[in-house]
Amino acid sequence: MKVTITGTSGFVGTNLLEYFDNSKFSVSSLSARYKPVQEFFLQGYALIHLAGKAHDLRNVSTPNDYYESNFELTKQLFDSFIKSDLSVFIFMSTVKACADEVKESLKEEDIPNPKTHYGLSKQKAEEYILNKKLPVNKRAYILRPCMIHGPNNKGNLNLLYKLVKKRIPWPLGNYPNQRSFLSIDNLMFCVNEFLSNDKISSGIYNLADDKTLSTNEIITLISNELGVETRIFKVPKFIISFVAKLGDIIRLPINNEKLQKLTSNYVVSNLKVKNSIKKILPVSSEEGMIKTINSFKKK
């Protein structure tokens, strides 16, 4: 069965191409960028839409960049899917399409309240897909992954690895935050299930590993894999808060925005997807994280 994937140059896309190699699915890439008034000629069994604009940490993107890449392009592809003979449409959204902050545990039925143009543009795409009536023979899945990690990906995990490797103490030990992560192995497993199992209903599905991990636990895992002493310091919160406020004024390694990202809770429920797939996720939270950590050691 032929499966077409957009965004194959990205981290998830390259892993999916490798995952489906020598499988029952024949995978091909589709280069897709937004252009006004365009349609796509789609053939085969399924379309996995990964292409889009991710959150811009450097703040150089305009709001229009997000809405064209994440909403308008998705709208064009989904309309083309409806007109095609394809059976399955998978849209890779994000948990940030629902919430930037989570008080308890994020569930699919929570009312979306995104705050950034990244989240808002993804949420508009979700809404468009959900409001379209699907033909009887078609299925459409909106996947909301939390922070995805795996071998050779970049981001905060790599930065934490470098910090531990340099024997720099972690000063935020007084913040026992809990965050959900998603191993790339579990993501690919779920995508395969959505493609293969026509009993899974269309709709929104959060994707996350079974267990949350605190930053302190990740620091400990990295230290263990490197064979070095775990150095977690519990600097009083009032001192950290003062330094973060100072960082808002002058350039320091930490400010209030970074402190929020490093210490806040973000727990995502994966009960719906597990109940729908009726299978156990293949990789535990710790196993997936250790696999990612060990990939940094090879660089």
For the ranges 157-171, 200-214, 243-257, the one whose mean pLDDT is highest:
200-214
Percent of the chain with pLDDT over 90: 83
Residue 210, phi then psi, degrees to nearest 5: -70, -35
The CATH number, out of the four listed (3.40.50.970, 2.60.120.10, 3.90.110.10, 3.40.50.720), of the domain defined by the range 2-153+180-209+268-283: 3.40.50.720
Burial of 60 (C-beta count, 10 Å sphere; 0-12/13-18/19+): exposed
Domain ranges of the chain: 2-153+180-209+268-283
Q: What's the pTM? A: 0.93
Per-residue pLDDT tens digits for 215-273: 999 999 999 999 999 999 999 999 999 999 999 999 888 888 888 888 899 999 999 99
Q: How confident is the model at residue 55, as a pLDDT? A: 66
Q: How confident is the model at residue 61 (pLDDT cuts 50, 70, 90)?
A: confident
Whether the CB-CB separation of 152 and 293 falls below 8 Å is answered with no
Helix (H) or strand (E) holding 179: none
Q: How confident is the model at residue 59 (pLDDT cuts 50, 70, 90)?
A: low
